[in-house]
Amino acid sequence: MGMDRWDPFREMMTLRESMDRLLQQSISGTGQLLSNIRPDSIPMDVVERDDAFEVHAAIPGVKPDDVEITVQGERLTVRAEVRRAEEQRDENWLMREQRSGILSRTITLPSQVSSDKAEAKIEHGVLVLRLPKVQPTQPHRISVAATPSGEQSGRDATAGGDRVTEESQESFPASDPPSWTSEKV
């Protein structure tokens, strides 16, 4: 029987492979990880297009009146209420897995969207949102008019633009010390 030399890196690789397999199994289903962590959240798919974001949110069994969509800057919030059918006292439920109550999800998009031009519809239990991006403002050139050379613009050219009037001289004479000094005249 031969002896193998101990290699700590081989054991680390085995641990890494095990962790990779564990993570791959937990994320394998679409929205599976999210629904296991937060059962009250809404699974979403978000696609960025050139001019808009397209959001698909799974909300089966929800009526359009029970959906509230809020956009504030880059933040999108989808809130839906799933109503449960009324239970009859004489029914014997074997299993009850369908969710009911308030479902909510808030995501941050990469850029601001225009909520005024947004479109929303529900197709086969999937909320489809089209959120147009806010178009960046284009630079606007402002022309500057020149003053004719013989005209004064209302400023005293000799004082570097400052004009001292007799009225301001009387209210703040130059001989008075500043109010923040301890000297008085």
CA atoms of 146 and 38, how far apart (whole Å) = 66
- Average pLDDT of the chain? 77
Residue 96's pLDDT band, with cuts at 50, 70 and 90, is confident
Per-residue pLDDT at 35 = 47
Judging by beta carbons within 10 Å of its beta carbon (0-12, 13-18, 19+), is residue 132 exposed, middle or buried? middle
Residue 100's pLDDT band, with cuts at 50, 70 and 90, is confident
The helix, strand and coil proportions of the chain, stated in percent and rounded to the nearest 5, come to 20, 25, 55
CB count within 10 Å of CB 17 equals 10
**Looking at the DSSP assignment, which residues form a beta bridge with residue 44?**
57
Q: What is the amino acid identity at position 90?
A: D
Asked whether residue 180 carries a pLDDT value surpassing 70, the answer given is: no
Per-residue pLDDT at 99 = 73
What the block records as the tokens of 154 is 């209302």
Q: Cβ neighbours of residue 88 under 8 Å, at least 6 residues apart?
A: none
Apex 6 CA angle, 5 and 11, nearest 5: 140
Q: Which domains does the chain have, with CATH numbers?
A: 38-86+97-136 (2.60.40.790)
Tell me the pTM. Answer: 0.54
